[in-house]
A and B are shown apart, each in its own frame.
Chain A
Amino acid sequence: MSGRQIDASEGDTAARSAAWSLHRFANPGRFLRLAQKVQPWLTTAAIILTVTGLTWGLFFAPADWQQGDAVRIMYVHVPSAWLASSGYFGLAICSLLSLVWRHPLADMAAVEIGPVGAGFTALCLATGSLWGKPMWGAWWVWDARLTSVLVLLFLYLGHIVLVRAFDDPTRGYRAGSILALVGVVNLPIIKFSVDWWNTLHQPASITLLGAPTMDASMLWPLLISALGFTLAFAAIVVARLRAAVMERRIRGLLMARVGSR
């Protein structure tokens, strides 16, 4: 066997093993067992962190020297903005798994992420607007950041409608997956809009590589609130997905019963 053939066969084995482990975790029964164990911890941690972060931000974090107490809106707005984008990224990953590997759980996860992501995006836009009115003097401006987040909301809404628009659910999942993958192009636009264009929206205060441009007394409640929102998003999606798996099982059992008569 030549070196190239061995490489190809090793690559094939690795791909098969990756696909196998992916399908192993896609088993709805295994997912239900795992989710049942994780859900209480996830929900408890989400409640504790969200309540702590929001209470800290609302009552104990200092007011900003320029913005006054309106800065407290940031403890809701920034986590919801973070989840609007990362939720969509999760939706796109599920769509990719659905298109490439016909992953049944990924289809259901994409359907369940959509409305939650849309809710968080709407919350991000609404709280941004509530901050914008006293700070900018306008509820809305057609700024690149705001507009790209509005496009994200429309992408979520489009996905919600599209996956339910067909009599054959498989066709709906496929169409929704394509829309979700095309829409991923909007995520870097949202992220870099404040750098690429001269926007009214301020640039990021927290970056992966640089030091935050925010005082620790404001940074900590923000990070705790962001972590709490993230866990809450995950807990909600897991609960919805568990319900969806059970509902599919109920439909299957009822149809089998009707068929056996």
Chain B
Amino acid sequence: MTHLPFIVASYSLAVLVLGGFGSSAWLRLASARRRLAAIDTRRAREGSR
């Protein structure tokens, strides 16, 4: 394969950008979901008192 370093660098960058944005979005979503569930549970507990 000709120009291999340039091709490898391009595909690596694509994986980095897509993977980076994808995983950060997923982690942020999971964290928000967990925090929201915790607050909802606390509110429900406080409401039943």
B22 and A232: CB pair below 8 A?
yes
Measured CA separation A69–B11 after assembly (Å): 13
Residues on A facing B (Cβ under 8 Å) = 50, 54, 58, 63, 68-70, 72-73, 76-77, 80, 115-116, 119-120, 122-123, 126-127, 130-131, 133-134, 229, 232, 235-236, 239-240, 242-243, 246-247, 249-250, 253-254, 257
A76 to B17, CA, bound (A): 11
Known: A69-B4, A123-B14. A254 touches B22 (CB 8 A): no
Tell which of B2, B4, B25, B31 has the most Cβ of chain A within 10 Å.
B25
New A-B pairs, 11, CB < 8 Å, besides A76-B13, A123-B14: A50-B18, A63-B1, A73-B7, A76-B11, A76-B14, A126-B10, A131-B6, A232-B22, A239-B25, A243-B25, A246-B29
B14 touches A127 (CB 8 A): yes
Give the CA-CA distance A243 to B43 in the complex, in Å.
20
A68 to B14, CA, bound (A): 20
What residues of chain A lie closer than 8 Å to B7, measured between beta carbons? 58, 69-70, 72-73
Q: Indicate if the CB atoms of A253 and B39 lie closer than 8 Å.
A: yes
In the assembled complex, B33 has its CB within 8 A of some CB on chain A: yes
CB neighbours (8 Å) of A253 from chain B are 36, 39, 43
**3 A-B pairs with the lowest CB-CB distances in the bound complex, closest first:** A246-B32, A68-B2, A239-B25
Contact A73 B6 (CB under 8 A): yes
Interface residue B28 (Cβ < 8 Å from any Cβ of A): yes
Q: Which residues of A contact B9 (CB under 8 A)?
A: 130
Contacts of B1 in A (CB 8 A): 63, 69
- Which residues on the B side are within 8 Å of A254 (C-beta)? 39
Query: Which one, B4, B6, B18, B25, contacts A240 given CB within 8 A?
Result: B25
Identify the B interface with A (CB < 8 A): 1-4, 6-7, 9-11, 13-14, 17-18, 20-22, 25-26, 28-29, 31-33, 35-36, 39, 43
Point out the residue from B6, B32, B39 that lies within 8 Å of A133, measured CB to CB.
B6
14 A-B interface contacts by CB (under 8 A):
A54-B11, A69-B4, A70-B3, A70-B6, A76-B14, A119-B17, A119-B21, A122-B17, A130-B10, A130-B13, A246-B29, A246-B35, A249-B36, A253-B36
Instruction: With CB as the reference atom, state the residue of chain A lying closest to B39.
Output: A253
B39 touches A235 (CB 8 A): no
Contact of B28 among A80, A127, A229, A240 (CB under 8 A): A240
Residue numbers in B under 8 Å from A239 (CB-CB): 22, 25-26, 28-29
Q: Is the CB of A68 within 8 A of B3?
A: yes
Would B32 and A247 count as touching, CB distance under 8 A?
Answer: yes
Which residue from A123, A134, A249 sits with its C-beta under 8 Å from B6? A134
- Across the interface, do B6 and A243 meet the contact criterion of CB distance under 8 Å? no
